[in-house]
A and B are shown apart, each in its own frame.
Chain A
Amino acid sequence: MNVLRSELLKLVSVRTTWFLLGGMLVVEGLYAGLVASLLSEEQLRGRDVSELLVGTPLITVFVFTLGALLSTNEFRHRTADSTFIITPQRERVVAAKLLVGALAGIVFALEFIAINAGLGLSILSNRDVPVDGDTAVDIYTGVAVGMVLACVFGVGLGAVLRNQVVTVVAGLAVFFVLRGVALLLGDAGTYFPAESLAGLQGAVGEDFLLSQVTGGLVFGAYCVVFAIAGMVLTRTREIS
């Protein structure tokens, strides 16, 4: 419990957290506003409205980066020394970070839904474009779970890699570069991290993707693997 409180405090006591939260507001606000206003009614009909509902791919970057910072800040600013002197059971620190990452992911997800629905859907209703309620709920749920998992993924990957820049670059590679590779691989490619996350989000027009549930389970499995690797490595590696 103490460790969890400390990790929460670490999260909220740096400006970057708030910049990321505010940054997502601006970026997603722009995206939702533009997509809802500019796409033709034709394009927004039926499940194609998912173009709007899944939001910009950058939301994944925001939550992933936040998670990555939670882990790598300790090494970048060398606070790992005092952290692990106070809590020598290092895996507990990583576990607390994973939990805090999940909590932060929930907050970001709620913010995302508030912006996307508040701005995007209200523009659509002004334009009298109907949106299917079930579709919206499915996609928002998928995106929200995906954001929580992406933040946890960042924490896990950060704990494994430790270096801040390397972790963020690796994350970008996983979410963007690898996606291109996955496309070339056909079915096997749908099990890649970014592809399974996209499946979870439930976007339309990419029918070859995994279903939301399977996608969630696959991306969740990646998170578990990195989370456990992060805990084990943090426990066994030296802090010097």
Chain B
Amino acid sequence: MPEIVIERLTKRYGETLAVDELSFTVDGGHVTGFLGPNGAGKSTTLRAVLGLIRPTSGRALVLDRPFHRLSDPARTVGASLDAADVHPGRSGRGHLRTLAAAAGIPFSRVDEVLAMVELTPARDRRVKGYSMGMRQRLALAGALLGDPRILLLDEPANGLDPQGMRWLRDILGSLAREGRAVLVSSHVLAEVEQTVDEVVVIGDGRLVAQGPLNDIVGGEERPVRVRTPHPDALRAVLEADGAGVATDDRDEVLLVHHCTLERVGTLAAEHGLAIFELTREAQTLEDRFLELTGEGGNVR
């Protein structure tokens, strides 16, 4: 049984259709990336899952029931929607204690999660003085308080430095390996690519793609990229061989379709044409994302 089931979820704000008949599921044991351009409906979907907003139609279920029916929500779902959602006058530790008290979690657990997110040295300082990255860590600590089997994180990588990103990647990975369901929305696609193994892509509130990262990326054949000082000569040879050749922005680079790496290399050698570089263009998640959601990036 999936941990989260979203069924034809629709949320309308006046004229805006924030989420439109969206359906997908999230399983335990994976880090699932929840991707979509600005205004695609990611945060709205997470809010609906958490029972903060009511769907216009459709539903979002956690462990097969609506969020407010969970017997122990804090120990089931940990969530961070926005790292800025803290009273700036409280210390990080004080903030987490208010959450722990509400959930009946012992204060010792507060210090434990503070250590997990490496905030121990700053735990008694007022949040007002925290950097963006520190607030993100605090938000994650809040989500981890109840040792939940499901984690919902809205843009947890925002404001993290490269060390912080790597740290987040490691921690999310190990949480998923323990069997938990981890759903992270993000814009930082290069980062997501290294963090997630499942992807849900939405655009304009609708599902665009869902599946394992490897299936989503590299779905279609990518061109061979070859750099040569003799682009015109090589181009003629390749075209004579039946390949399709396009030029890159730079004069020296050709993008070759319908042809293997080996064939390009062999042909070049046969014709005595030097080659400086020969690779198959990798498709990044970003490329695929832009393909799926449209380059225009029409923020609604």
Known: A6-B98, A88-B68. A81 touches B103 (CB 8 A): no
The residues of B that contact A88 with a CB separation of less than 8 Å are 51, 67-68, 70, 73
Contact B85 A81 (CB under 8 A): yes
Interface size counted on chain B using CB atoms at 8 A: 33
Contact B88 A77 (CB under 8 A): yes
Q: Does A239 contact B (CB under 8 A)?
A: yes
Q: In the complex, what distance in Å separates the CA atom of A86 from the CA atom of B134?
A: 22
Of residues 160 through 179 on chain B, the ones whose CB sits less than 8 Å from some CB of chain A are: none
Of residues 12 through 66 on chain B, the ones whose CB sits less than 8 Å from some CB of chain A are: 44, 47, 50-54
Q: Does A78 contact B (CB under 8 A)?
A: yes
Contact B90 A13 (CB under 8 A): yes
Q: 5 nearest interchain CB pairs?
A: A6-B102, A6-B101, A88-B68, A78-B85, A239-B52
Flag B71-92 by CB within 8 Å of A: 1 or 0 each. 0011001010110111111110
Q: In the complex, what distance in Å separates the CA atom of A16 from the CA atom of B44?
A: 33
B53 to chain A: closest residue by CB:
A238
Return the contact of B94 from the options A2, A5, A13, A238 (Cβ within 8 A).
A13
Contact A13 B73 (CB under 8 A): no
State the Cβ distance, A134 to closest chain B Cβ, in Å: 43
Contact A82 B87 (CB under 8 A): no
Return the contact of A15 from the options B44, B52, B89, B98 (Cβ within 8 A).
B89
A-B contacts at CB below 8 angstroms, number = 83
Contact B73 A9 (CB under 8 A): no
Query: Which residues does B use to contact A, with CB under 8 Å?
Result: 44, 47, 50-54, 67-68, 70, 73-74, 77, 79, 81-82, 84-91, 94, 97-99, 101-104, 142
The residues of A that contact B91 with a CB separation of less than 8 Å are 13
A9-B94, A14-B87 known; 10 new pairs, CB 8 Å cut-off, are A3-B102, A13-B98, A79-B85, A81-B50, A84-B51, A84-B52, A86-B102, A86-B103, A87-B102, A88-B70
The residues of B that contact A73 with a CB separation of less than 8 Å are 87
Q: In the complex, what distance in Å separates the CA atom of A73 from the CA atom of B89?
A: 11
Return the contact of B97 from the options A13, A14, A81, A239 (Cβ within 8 A).
A13
Q: In the complex, what distance in Å separates the CA atom of A86 from the CA atom of B86?
A: 15
A13 to chain B: closest residue by CB:
B94
Q: Does A85 contact B (CB under 8 A)?
A: yes
A5 to chain B: closest residue by CB:
B101
Contact B142 A240 (CB under 8 A): no
Give the one of A16, A85, A89 with max B CB within 10 A. Answer: A85
Q: In the complex, what distance in Å separates the CA atom of A239 from the CA atom of B79?
A: 15
The residues of B that contact A87 with a CB separation of less than 8 Å are 73, 102
Q: In the complex, what distance in Å separates the CA atom of A16 from the CA atom of B77?
A: 32
Main secondary structure of the interface of A (DSSP, over half): helix
Contact B86 A79 (CB under 8 A): yes
Contact B47 A240 (CB under 8 A): yes
Q: Does A83 contact B (CB under 8 A)?
A: yes
| Listed A/B pairs (16) with beta-carbon separation below 8 Å | A2-B104, A5-B101, A10-B87, A14-B90, A73-B87, A78-B85, A79-B87, A81-B52, A81-B85, A82-B79, A82-B85, A82-B142, A83-B102, A86-B74, A239-B47, A240-B47
Return the contact of A2 from the options B44, B67, B102 (Cβ within 8 A).
B102
Return the contact of A77 from the options B47, B52, B79, B85 (Cβ within 8 A).
B85
Number of contact residues on A: which range applies?
20 to 34
Q: In the complex, what distance in Å separates the CA atom of A240 from the CA atom of B81?
A: 11
Return the contact of A86 from the options B73, B81, B82, B90 (Cβ within 8 A).
B73
State the Cβ distance, B283 to closest chain A Cβ, in Å: 36
Contact A81 B82 (CB under 8 A): yes
State the Cβ distance, A68 to closest chain B Cβ, in Å: 15
Give the one of B52, B77, B82, B86 with max A CB within 10 A. Answer: B52
State the Cβ distance, A76 to closest chain B Cβ, in Å: 8
B77 to chain A: closest residue by CB:
A85
The residues of A that contact B98 with a CB separation of less than 8 Å are 6, 9-10, 13, 79
Q: In the complex, what distance in Å separates the CA atom of A84 from the CA atom of B70?
A: 13
Of residues 44 through 86 on chain A, the ones whose CB sits less than 8 Å from some CB of chain B are: 73, 77-79, 81-86
Return the contact of B68 from the options A14, A89, A238 (Cβ within 8 A).
A89
The residues of A that contact B84 with a CB separation of less than 8 Å are 78
The residues of B that contact A79 with a CB separation of less than 8 Å are 85-87, 98
Contact A240 B53 (CB under 8 A): yes
Flag A84-126 by CB within 8 Å of B: 1 or 0 each. 1111110000000000000000000000000000000000000
Q: In the complex, what distance in Å separates the CA atom of A79 from the CA atom of B53?
A: 15
The residues of B that contact A5 with a CB separation of less than 8 Å are 101-102
B73 to chain A: closest residue by CB:
A88
Contact B52 A238 (CB under 8 A): yes
The residues of A that contact B86 with a CB separation of less than 8 Å are 77, 79
Flag A222-240 by CB within 8 Å of B: 1 or 0 each. 0000000000000000111
Q: In the complex, what distance in Å separates the CA atom of A82 from the CA atom of B138?
A: 13
Q: In the complex, what distance in Å separates the CA atom of A14 from the CA atom of B54?
A: 32
State the Cβ distance, B41 to closest chain A Cβ, in Å: 13
State the Cβ distance, B133 to closest chain A Cβ, in Å: 19
